[in-house]
Chains A and B, each alone.
Chain A
Amino acid sequence: MAALDFLKTAELLKQGAEARVYRAEFLGKPTIVKERFPKRYRHPTLDEKLTHRRTTQEVRSILRCRRAGIRAPVVYFVDYTSHCIFLEEIVGSSTVRDHIASSQQSDSGTEQNLQQLAERVGQILAKMHDEDVIHGDLTTSNMLLRRSQKDGESELVLIDFGLSYISALPEDKGVDLYVLEKAFLSTHPNTEELFEKLLKSYAASSKKSSAVIKKLDEVRLRGRKRSMVG
């Protein structure tokens, strides 16, 4: 298997729950290779179906985003036998998570910076949802800020579309935002206002936002209103 042989010479960056991520050079370009390895606890048929589906969904969603002008890594190559995706490495970037965390620690005129960042995130998510792409795993670790050489304004890049899929349903978009809200608030304490700003920016930028925000409110209540017997 050529892709797996190739990986033997690559640098393993991390082993997440879902996949192993490597850094390598492919066709002369800095590349990230995402290998979805088999999960032994799953029934083999389920594992194969799930892994294949997630690989294709990930690639499809990234391509759809890119076509709409949303910044996501370029897909260089996909090996469907070993479930490896070869992606552009976003060099010179840091996660929004690290950015917020360090901003909060330094507190030097960062209030405005963070608010601007929140607005930009709201905008990019609105654009993504208007393309009917559901990210499926929105966290501040899955958003990168890449410093642009030219004018200093950094570029916001969405990554890790491993749980993504295509859907026009406001319910799915609402849940997508709910996942982000939970991840956001649990990772970054005392940021309720910042997240509100993000949502306002989303609502203003998306053409279909009111139904989505309504669904978000419904999903938020579900945790509280569910019958918890047993």
Chain B
Amino acid sequence: MSSAAMTVVIGFEGSANKIGIGIIRDGEVLSNPRRTYITPPGQGFMPSDTARHHRAVILTVLKEALEQAGLKPADIDCVAYTKGPGMGAPLVTVALVARTVAQLWGKPLLGVNHCIGHIEMGRLITKANNPTVLYVSGGNTQVIAYSERRYRIFGETIDIAVGNCLDRFARVIKISNDPSPGYNIEQMAKKGSQYVELPYTVKGMDVSFSGILSYIEEAANKMLSSGQCTAEDLCFSLQETVFSMLVEITERAMAHCGSQEVLIVGGVGCNLRLQEMMGVMCQERGAKLFATDERFCIDNGAMIAQAGWEMFRSGQVTELEDSWITQRYRTDEVEVTWRD
């Protein structure tokens, strides 16, 4: 195949504490470097500090992306960036760089929905056909299925995201944020054995995590100091409970849609226990589970490039005056012009 027929897209992602730039050429990930802004234990990341972190490293990451792919700016066909959703200041920082290089290189821009980036990357890597998607991260918890040119949200959290619940619990018991609080909770959970009863809240196809979070925030230190259970037991119990809730709403969506495939995307999707539980549910229904690893589960630039690639090839382009960012951007707002 001649290189004239290929489409190369560079994607810029920095909606939360990860800044990643990736390059995709016709479904091949040529490079995908990333940096994470990690705060001390007990602290979350704030928008302005996060933006500052991204500003400091973004040009380095950009150079890495081009060098690792062995490409020059002239080889790029389109510059994709995260339009939203996410944190304001970091989104602006990244969009600014994307706009600038697009103009410098004379390339078209594409504003991409972050959630759709996750979905399209998941589809590319796993080759899942038409799965029920569970998108779980620090900022989002949605059960999505494709129907008539939209990624429709069948179920979601009615308050906070599951990753947010896990991250904030990590802060309460001062678990390290390196490499991520969720990863450390997962490791500690493996050593937990006692199941502590926690609130379980599923409402129809939706879930709620603020109840279990406030319960565990209040009770954790009491339980730990009384010796009733260990921190590992709490991590274990929290995972078992929130993951069961996620598997339940996914199963309900599958039953509703008659779907036989599940795809897990988003940072929390890295969690092997969640994958294991979803796998058991799938097995019992004769369904198939698809999941990716931390390169693609966690926010990264290539996923924005991949969604951008699909959008670009279906004829979409974002004009400069429309290349703003937005903190709130529903997955179902986007018209999925690249699928029928």
> Which residues from chain A sit less than 8 Å from chain B, CB to CB?
16-18, 39-43, 45-46, 49-50, 136-139, 163, 175, 179, 182-183, 186, 219, 222-230
B195 within 8 A of A: yes
Neighbouring A residues of B203 by C-beta, 8 Å: 136, 163, 175, 179
- A42–B240 contact, CB under 8 A? yes
What DSSP secondary structure best describes chain A's contact surface? Answer: loop
Can you offer 5 A-B residue contacts whose CB atoms are under 8 A?
A: A40-B284, A50-B200, A182-B204, A228-B86, A229-B87
B250 to chain A, nearest CB (A): 9
The digit string for B241-254, where 1 denotes a CB below 8 A from any CB of A, is 10010011001101
B110 to chain A, nearest CB (A): 20
Q: A17-B251, A43-B244 are in contact. Are A227 and B330 (CB under 8 A)?
A: no
- B267–A230 contact, CB under 8 A? yes
Please tell me the number of chain B residues within 8 Å of chain A, measured between CB atoms: 50
- A41–B197 contact, CB under 8 A? no
Neighbouring B residues of A186 by C-beta, 8 Å: 152, 154
A138 to chain B, nearest CB (A): 7
The segment from B66-74, B135-143, B304-312 found at the interface with A is: B135-143
- Using CB atoms, name the residue of chain B closest to A224: B328
Q: Which of B137, B195, B204, B244: most chain A CB closer than 10 A?
A: B204
- A42–B244 contact, CB under 8 A? yes
Complex alpha-carbon distance, A49 and B237, angstroms: 14
- A230–B161 contact, CB under 8 A? yes
Q: A43-B240, A50-B200 are in contact. Are A175 and B281 (CB under 8 A)?
A: no
- B244–A136 contact, CB under 8 A? no
A98 to chain B, nearest CB (A): 15
Q: A43-B244, A46-B195, A229-B139 are in contact. Are A222 and B161 (CB under 8 A)?
A: no
- Using CB atoms, name the residue of chain A closest to B163: A230
- Using CB atoms, name the residue of chain A closest to B252: A17
- Which residues of chain B from 211 to 264 have a CB within 8 Å of any chain A CB? 240-241, 244, 247-248, 251-252, 254-255
- Which residues of chain B from 123 to 181 have a CB within 8 Å of any chain A CB? 137-140, 152-154, 156, 158-159, 161, 163-164
- A230–B330 contact, CB under 8 A? no
Q: A40-B280, A163-B204, A230-B161 are in contact. Are A46 and B138 (CB under 8 A)?
A: no
- A163–B156 contact, CB under 8 A? no
